[in-house]
Amino acid sequence: MLADVADITEEKGNVLIDFYTSSCVPCRALNPILDEIAQEFNDLK
């Protein structure tokens, strides 16, 4: 997994990395917002 993160962060452009756990209430609250971002920027990895 860390190799994947390194590959993505070396690419040009913006990077958003979401560190998430299902037991984290604020993490779950961000899910709808991150879904909207993913739909708006469909080239995200």
Tell which residue, 20, 8, 17, has the closest CA to residue 37: 17
Q: Read out DSSP for 1-45?
A: -HHHHHHHHHSSS--------TT-HHHHHHHHHHHHHHHHSTT--
Which amino acid is it at 27? C
Q: Give pLDDT < 70 ranges for the chain.
A: 1-2, 44-45
The pTM of the full predicted model, rounded to 2 decimals, is 0.56
Question: How high is the pLDDT of residue 17?
Answer: 79
Query: Could you give the CA distance from residue 15 to residue 5 in angstroms, rounded to a whole number?
Result: 10
